[in-house]
Structure 1
C-alpha cells in the first residue's frame, strides 16, 4: 500500500487531543466544569435562532475542552401535535451520514480488508464510468472526495425525490451514461452517487450489507443506541422527528414516515437518523483520539483518523468565509470539509434533506465542537448557528449575534444579483395539439422512461420510476415549463424538444432557477422518443 507523507498540522492536532470526554447526562446538561455564563450565552443563541427563523424544532449539543457542556431541545416532532423534541428524538442527519460511511471504510482498512488506493473494480467488477480510463483509475478514495469530473449532483434524480424505485444496481449501471463535464481529478464538484458505490464497496469488502456493517462497525462500538439505518419500525423506536416546510406563515409536516421505515438506495450518502444525544457522542469520539469502542479496543487507529481528515480535494473559499471567518483554505477530506477559521482548523459537514437540516462542526485544537439538528426549512438558520457557535467556542470575545449574521444573509439575498430565477408567473397550460408529433414515451439511458402524453385538455410529463416527478406542461412566453404536481418538488424545469433530420425526437430539461438545489439534475437528462403514448 502506498502512503502519502503525514501532514505536520494534523500530527500536531492529534497530539493535542489527549483526555477522554465526559459523558452526557440525560436531557439538559449541567456537566461538571460547564460554565454558567457560557451556558447562558448559548441559551441566547438558541432562543434567538428559534425565534428569528420560527423553527418547528431545534436541538443543539456542545462539547467544550472534551466535556459535554450543553444539550438542549425545543419544539415539536410534528408542529401543532404537541409531542416535544427531546435529546433522544431521532432526526435525519442527511449528508452527515457520509462521515459515518468513511468511518466504516476506515474500520475495514484497519482490519486489513480494504485499501484506500484499491481500484473500485476489485470489489465491483461491473463498475463503469463514462470513460474507460476513469473506470480503470478510479480508486476507493476517489469515491469519497468529489473529484469524479461529473456535474455537481449528477444522477441525483435516481435518489430524490423519494419515494422512487431506483435501486443500487440501477445506480451502478447508470453511472456509465453520466457524461463528465470536467476531467477526472481536476476539480471539486459534490456528488452523492459515488457514496452509494462506496457503500457497495464496503459491503463487498466486509462481507455483509452496508446497513449491517454500519451498525456493527460504527453504531455499536460507539454506543449510538438511537441511530438508525435500513429497515426499522417508527413506533418501536418512537420519538421520531418529522420534516417540515414553511407554508402560509407556518410549519407544515411533509413526507411523514409510515409505520415501517424502509432501507433506501441513498442510505450510504444520506440515510442515517440519530438523536442529539447520539450525535453529541459522535463528535466526542472524534475529539478524543484515544477513544475505545464498547469492546475496550481502539475504535479507530491514529493513522486512519489522520487519513480521514487529510485534505484531499481543494475547494473554493467563498467570499462569506473570507469575511466572516478569515478563512484561507478549504478542502474536502474523506466525508469531512476542512478549513481554517480564525487561524484554527475547522472540521465540519452539513446535511440537507427536504425539511431536515443538520450540522456537525469540530474545532479539534480546542477539543471542542457542536451539533445542530433542525426539522424544518433552515438553510440560513444553520449558517448563522454555525458561525455564531464557532465564534462562541473558538473566539469567545467575539460579540456578534444571531441577529447580526441573520441580517447579513438577508441583505445578501436581497442584492440585485442574488436572484437569477426568471419570472414565470404568467403561464398557461398547453393543449395536446401544441405538441403534435412530440407526444410519446421517452427514454434516458440512466434515468429510464418518462411519458409526455395528453391528459384531459392538457399534457403531462410522468417519470416511470420517480412518481413525484409528474406535472403539467405549461407555456411561459415561447418556452415550455414543467409545473410539478407535488409540493415536495420545488425546482421547476424547462423542456426543450428537438427533431433530427431523420425525424428522431429528443427532449432535454434544465432548471428554471439556475441556483436551485443541484440534486435536481435535469441537465444530465437526454431523452429520446421511443414510442407512442399508451
Structure 2
C-alpha cells in the first residue's frame, strides 16, 4: 500500500509546511479510507484493488491491496494498469470535444456529414442523428443492442462490421424519447472522430488525451504486456474463490470496442485525469498557457443531455434529486452537492470514478475481479466520507442494506429464471428439420450442426459463442462452453410457408443486457457442411 504520508520523515516534512489542523485532517482521512478499503477487501476477498483520492488538486490518499494476478505474489501498486472499461467513454467524449475546439466538427453535425454511409434502421433517424446523440444513450435502441459484435472477446468483428450492423438493429422506442445504455454508438463515435481528426481512434487518443495530460501508463490499441509490465489480470468467482479469466497474452491486440470500453490506465493516471477536471487551471494547462479543453466544451461535457431514471436507492442513500447523462458522464447530486461519475464493467474487471466538483474531490476505485457489489459499497462509503461523514454506515453497513434489498426483492418478485434441471443433450433426430446454417443480418452466420455425437451451436465471427444444444420440457437451449455469455433459448419458427427462422432469448430475463440474444433474427440459409 502507498499513501501520501509514508513514514515519520515524510510526516515531519509535511508538519513543517502545513498547519497542524490540515495535517491532522489528512491523517484522519487516510485512516478512515484505509478502514473502508480493508473492509471491502476482507468482505469480498478481492484479488486486487487500487483506490485513490485527490482533493484541491493534491493526492490525499493512495491505497493498494492484493496482487495483479492471484497467486503470483506480484503486488498491485499505483502504477498497475487496470481495464477501466466504460470509464473510457468520458475520454472518448473529451477527445471529440478537443476536435470541436479545433473546428473539425460540431456537436450538432449530422453523423452522415462525417460518415456518409452510416445508417440506422429508420431513414428519419439516419437523417436526424447528430454527433451528440452518439454519446448520450437516446437512440431508441434497447439497452446493449449489438453488443454481441463487441463481446465476448476475442472475436472477428471489425469496426466496419459494427457500423454496417447499426442499420439492422431494431429500435424499441422512439429516437430521443428515453435513456437506454448503448455501447455500439460509441464505436460509431470513435470512427467519426477518426474521420474528422484524420487519424485512427487509437492515434487520436494518444495524441489528444494521453500525451498532453501526461497519462503515461494509459494504453489503448495494440501493445506489449511484457514490455509495459505491471498489468492487472481479470478474475472471476468460482466456488467462492477467485481465478484468472481471459488472461492477457504477451501481445495485446487492438480491440473493436476500444471507444466504448477499451482503455487501460493506472491509478496514478486516473488521479491525473481527475485533477484535470477539478483543477483545469493547473492540471489542464498546456504549453503557452492554453487549456487542454475550452470552458465551453467542459461545460458541454457536464451538461444534462438525457434524463435518466432516478432510483429509489439513490433517493434513499444519497437524497438525490436528479439524474442525467452528459457526454460520457452520469450527472447527479449526493447530499446536496453535485456528483459527476461513471463506472466500468468488463468480465473480471470493475472500475468506478467519482468527482465532487463543488468540493474539489475526485475518487478512483479499480478492481481486478468480478466485484459489482464490492465496487458499489466501497465507492458509496468513500463518497459519503466527504459528503455526509456523520451518516456513513461504511462498507459493511451498505453491504447489509444491499442484502436487505435482495431479500425484499426476492419476496416481492420471485426469480424469473426457469428450472431447467431436466436438461439433457439434444440429438440430431430430435432436431430434424432444424439443423443447418442460419444468418442474422448484423451478427452473421451460425451453424446448428452435429459434432462429436452431439449438436452444437457455433457462431462464425465469435468463437466463444459456442455451446451444446440441450433439450428440456420447456424447449431447446444452449449450454455454452465456458461462461462468457448467458445461457439462451433457441426458438424455431413453425411457419412452413417461409424459410426456417430462429429467435433467441436469455434464460434469465434480467441477465446481462450485453448478451442481446433478443435482438437476433436468424433465417436458415443452408444445410450443415458435410462431416
TM score, norm. by length of structure 2? 0.94
Per the TM alignment, residue 418 of structure 1 is displaced from its structure 2 partner at its CA by: 6.3
Per the TM alignment, residue 333 of structure 1 is displaced from its structure 2 partner at its CA by: 0.3
1:272 to 254, 263, 277: 263
Distance 1:465 1:293 in 2: 44
Residues 379-458 of structure 1 mapped to structure 2, 5 A cutoff: 379-414=372-407, 415-416=410-411, 417=413, 419-458=415-454
Structure 1 spans left out of the alignment, 5+ residues: 1-25
Distance 1:483 1:501 in 2: 28
Query: 2:28 matched to 1:37?
Result: yes
1:154 to 130, 134, 145: 145
CA offset digits 1:175-209 (Å, max 9, x no partner): 00011010000000000000000001111111100
Query: 2:67 matched to 1:67?
Result: no
Residues 245-260 of structure 1 mapped to structure 2, 5 A cutoff: 245-260=236-251
Per the TM alignment, residue 126 of structure 1 is displaced from its structure 2 partner at its CA by: 0.6
The equivalent residue for 1:138 is 129
8 Å contact kept, 2:65–2:76 = yes
Per the TM alignment, residue 104 of structure 1 is displaced from its structure 2 partner at its CA by: 0.2
SS across alignment from 1:435: coil
The equivalent residue for 2:222 is 231
Per the TM alignment, residue 503 of structure 1 is displaced from its structure 2 partner at its CA by: 4.7
CA offset digits 1:299-335 (Å, max 9, x no partner): 1111110000000000001111111111111000000
CA offset digits 1:9-60 (Å, max 9, x no partner): xxxxxxxxxxxxxxxxx94222955511111000100000000011000100
1:505 to 500, 506, 525: 500
2:357 to 364, 367, 370: 364
Residues 19-98 of structure 1 mapped to structure 2, 5 A cutoff: 27-30=2-5, 33=22, 35-98=26-89
Distance 1:397 1:427 in 2: 53
1:493 to 454, 463, 488: 488
Distance 1:269 1:478 in 2: 37
1:204 to 167, 188, 195: 195
The equivalent residue for 1:123 is 114
8 Å contact kept, 1:64–1:393 = no
The equivalent residue for 1:327 is 320
Distance 2:56 2:417 in 1: 45
Distance 1:173 1:399 in 2: 49
Structure 2 spans left out of the alignment, 5+ residues: 15-21
8 Å contact kept, 2:301–2:328 = yes
Distance 1:280 1:360 in 2: 10
8 Å contact kept, 1:330–1:340 = yes
Per the TM alignment, residue 426 of structure 1 is displaced from its structure 2 partner at its CA by: 2.6
CA offset digits 1:257-304 (Å, max 9, x no partner): 001111110000000000000001111111113243453421111111
Per the TM alignment, residue 465 of structure 1 is displaced from its structure 2 partner at its CA by: 0.2
8 Å contact kept, 1:220–1:294 = no
Query: 2:519 matched to 1:528?
Result: no
TM score, norm. by length of structure 1? 0.93
8 Å contact kept, 2:277–2:284 = no
The equivalent residue for 1:7 is none
Runs ≥4 in structure 1, deviation > 4 angstroms?
31-34
Distance 2:405 2:72 in 1: 35
Distance 1:435 1:81 in 2: 47
Distance 2:212 2:37 in 1: 31
The equivalent residue for 1:292 is 284
8 Å contact kept, 1:412–1:418 = no
How many pairs align? 508
8 Å contact kept, 1:144–1:194 = yes
Distance 1:401 1:143 in 2: 37
Distance 1:411 1:434 in 2: 45
Distance 1:90 1:425 in 2: 41
Distance 2:488 2:427 in 1: 18
